[in-house]
Chain A
Amino acid sequence: MPGGIWVYAEQKDGKLKKVTLELLSAARKIADEQKEELCAVLTGRDVAGLAGTLAEYGADKVYLLQSEDLENYTTDGYTSAVTALVREHQPSVFLLGYTVLGRDLAAHVAQRLDTGLFTDCVDVRLEDGQLVFKRPIYAGKAFFEGVCPEARPVMATVRPNVLPVNPPQAGRTAQVIEVNPQPGSIRQIIRDVVRQVSTRPELTEADIIVSGGRGMKGPENFRLLEELADVLGAAVGASRAAVDAGWAPHSMQVGQTGKTVSPTLYIACGISGAIQHLAGMGSSKYIVAINKDPEANIFKVADYGIVGDLFEVVPLLIQEFKKLKEQG
């Protein structure tokens, strides 16, 4: 029996990332079709408690790699530990999330294994016994489909928020295999970690994003968007113009040279809809645009548009959403 379909189970602060559940759901289907086992690779310190959730979302086996050295992500430590495990068990497929951690780990592991890697995939399907990977290129202005005919495992990172999650099966269990990890010598020494304290979701994982552009006029007005975001449980994004003006940090920039996002709802406030901005948010399920200029390009892609002054419209929207929330 081949070594299985593998999913890297990314966790942060002891919580599984949503993309992990998305990967398990997609991989479950491939495993069933290929009649292979679905295995999850869980790394970190004190993370054993997550194995049950991985099982409920479809894992048959969980490889548990726990050590002090793996408490924080380091390129060397994680690459060595995961590569050793792959070498030992020879999976046919290995999927990770296209996250800050996932794409760094995937690229290093792929090279150590001399194999191919598709990054930022939005779909994976089986065709004539071969996996076909679909990914956007030119920031979503085109798509590419490719295969990895020989090298194994076939590796891919998958964009968060695009694949559906299967409902969990309560009580489903997995075989948990504790592995003595081999992180080797770690050359990256972490000197300091600065966390932005935010109760809002990550941009790349958020279901709803409220985004502001040059029309916000100044940094203080982003408070308004934060207020709207908090009513909706949304993340806050920005156009490059707003970032370059210093009104928002670069980590909030959406677009070709910022983050690619795929929320269910994207609310663009005072954003003109330049091609580089659309490249980052064009795959949103619904787009709402609020802009003074009826000719603004953003209206060409928006599902709903309001032509008006955002300083008038956004406070009204906050009121309306609040009303809705109170009604339950």
Chain B
Amino acid sequence: MNVVVMLKQTFDTEARITLDEKGRINREGVSLIINPYDEFAVEEGLRVKEKSKGEVTVVSVGEAQVQEALRQALAMGADKAILVSPDGMEVDEYVTATILAKVIGGLQYDIILAGWRAIDDGSAQVAARVAEILGLPMVNMVTRLEVGEGSVLATREIEGGSEVVEVPLPAVVTAQKGLNEPRYPTMKGIMQAKKKPMQKMTLQDLGLDAGQVVPKVRAVKYYLPPPRKPGRIIPGEAAEAAAALVRALREEAKII
């Protein structure tokens, strides 16, 4: 079973966000991680491979530093990595998906895994767009995956419960928390990762011309939210404080 995992590098969840002088999100000095949902996808890919043989290929769109995230996936056990650099060009979800689909379309795959959303832009649409471009069925927000001959059974989160969906392979499946516990790279894994193939590609290498990678949406501006004002501590013994809180919610906030 050949698995392709789409992976995005994101800001660390602890990162404080600031703007640069051009009014864009400042990337200086921010520590970077694998998007946590993509880590579940990498882990699941490794488990599929361990059961059925085959290979795990991780693919990403981004600048040079994304190689660190890809190396980490290789250290976890993935076999090879492909990074496409958009060379500072503006990308939206449409462009990212166009590039990913082009790369993946040239690979041998049985299943494509991704995180259901990235924690930075939260947009939850790249995997769906890739599935559409490649003409593949998709199952979103999966918490349990059973890979069979020619099809998968995926348990996915729905509002107020879950459902089990069967789709034929090849398919795109996105990971939700709960799917698995990602492993940590071992020392041996880290050493081996250094020798594993990391292919770097440009849009020209992929045969994508400028007209195919024009974003559909454009950013007008970025800004930071006003800080929340701290409120007040309600003093007194528990009973007194509880009564005062309920009174405040009713009389000041008028929400109860």
Q: A116-B92, A143-B224 are in contact. Are A299 and B137 (CB under 8 A)?
A: no
Task: Find residues 257-280 in chain A having any chain B CB closer than 8 Å to their own CB.
Answer: 257-258, 260, 264-265, 275-276, 279
B139 at the interface (CB under 8 A from A): yes
B140: chain A residues within 8 A (beta carbon): 75, 100, 104
A115: chain B residues within 8 A (beta carbon): 216
A245 at the interface (CB under 8 A from B): no
Cβ contact within 8 Å between A282 and B228: yes
Contact of B230 among A12, A275, A300 (CB under 8 A): A300
Contact of A196 among B129, B137, B160, B218 (CB under 8 A): B160
B82 at the interface (CB under 8 A from A): no
B133: chain A residues within 8 A (beta carbon): 111
Q: How far is the CB of B182 from chain A (nearest CB, A)?
A: 12
Q: How far is the CB of B208 from chain A (nearest CB, A)?
A: 15
Q: How far is the CB of A75 from chain B (nearest CB, A)?
A: 6
B25: chain A residues within 8 A (beta carbon): 137-138, 142
Cβ contact within 8 Å between B36 and A145: no
A146: chain B residues within 8 A (beta carbon): 217-220
Cβ contact within 8 Å between A307 and B225: no
A179 at the interface (CB under 8 A from B): no
Cβ contact within 8 Å between B253 and A144: no
Of all chain A residues, the one with the shortest Cβ separation from B158 is A100
A106: chain B residues within 8 A (beta carbon): 125
Cβ contact within 8 Å between A286 and B256: no
A287: chain B residues within 8 A (beta carbon): 228, 231
Q: How far is the CB of B111 from chain A (nearest CB, A)?
A: 14
Q: A100-B141, A100-B157, A146-B219 are in contact. Are A264 and B255 (CB under 8 A)?
A: yes
Cβ contact within 8 Å between B161 and A307: no
Q: A138-B11, A138-B17, A187-B167 are in contact. Are A308 and B230 (CB under 8 A)?
A: no
Q: A188-B167, A294-B233 are in contact. Are A76 and B220 (CB under 8 A)?
A: no
Cβ contact within 8 Å between A191 and B164: yes
Q: Kindly state the separation between the CA atoms of A193 and B167 in the bound complex, as whole angstroms.
A: 15
Q: Kindly state the separation between the CA atoms of A260 and B15 in the bound complex, as whole angstroms.
A: 18
Cβ contact within 8 Å between A76 and B137: yes
Q: How far is the CB of A117 from chain B (nearest CB, A)?
A: 6
A256: chain B residues within 8 A (beta carbon): 13, 119
Cβ contact within 8 Å between B238 and A316: yes
A260: chain B residues within 8 A (beta carbon): 122
Contact of B163 among A103, A108, A119, A192 (CB under 8 A): A192
Q: Mark B227-256, 1 if CB is under 8 A from A, else 0.
A: 010111110001101110110111001011
Cβ contact within 8 Å between B228 and A75: no
Q: Mark A182-201, 1 if CB is under 8 A from B, else 0.
A: 00000111111111101000
Cβ contact within 8 Å between A120 and B253: no
Task: Find residues 270-328 in chain A having any chain B CB closer than 8 Å to their own CB.
Answer: 275-276, 279, 282, 285-288, 294, 299-309, 312-313, 316-317, 319-321, 324
Contact of B177 among A100, A257, A317, A324 (CB under 8 A): A257
Cβ contact within 8 Å between A187 and B168: yes
Contact of A320 among B125, B218, B246 (CB under 8 A): B246
B159 at the interface (CB under 8 A from A): yes
Q: Count contacts on B: residues with CB < 8 A to the other chain.
A: 80
Stretch at the interface among A58-66, A147-155, A212-220: A147-155
Q: Kindly state the separation between the CA atoms of A104 and B143 in the bound complex, as whole angstroms.
A: 16
Q: How far is the CB of A33 from chain B (nearest CB, A)?
A: 19
Q: Mark A96-139, 1 if CB is under 8 A from B, else 0.
A: 00011101101110111011111110000000000010001111
B238: chain A residues within 8 A (beta carbon): 306, 308-309, 312-313, 316
Q: Mark A230-246, 1 if CB is under 8 A from B, else 0.
A: 00100000000000000
Q: Please list the residues of chain A having a beta carbon within 8 angstroms of any beta carbon in chain B.
A: 12, 73-76, 99-101, 103-104, 106-108, 110-112, 114-120, 132, 136-151, 187-196, 198, 202, 208, 232, 250-251, 253, 256-258, 260, 264-265, 275-276, 279, 282, 285-288, 294, 299-309, 312-313, 316-317, 319-321, 324
CB<8 Å pairs between A and B, sample of 13: A101-B158, A107-B127, A107-B128, A116-B217, A146-B219, A188-B167, A193-B163, A195-B160, A196-B160, A257-B37, A286-B255, A306-B241, A316-B242
Q: Knowing that A188-B165, A321-B246 are A-B contacts, what are 12 other residue pairs whose CB atoms are under 8 Å apart, sorted by A's residue number?
A: A104-B140, A112-B132, A141-B224, A142-B223, A148-B218, A192-B164, A299-B233, A300-B230, A312-B238, A313-B241, A316-B243, A324-B256
Q: Please list the residues of chain B having a beta carbon within 8 angstroms of any beta carbon in chain A.
A: 11, 13-17, 19, 25, 36-37, 92-94, 97, 119-125, 127-129, 131-133, 137-141, 143, 153, 157-168, 171, 176-178, 215-225, 228, 230-234, 238-239, 241-243, 245-246, 248-250, 253, 255-256
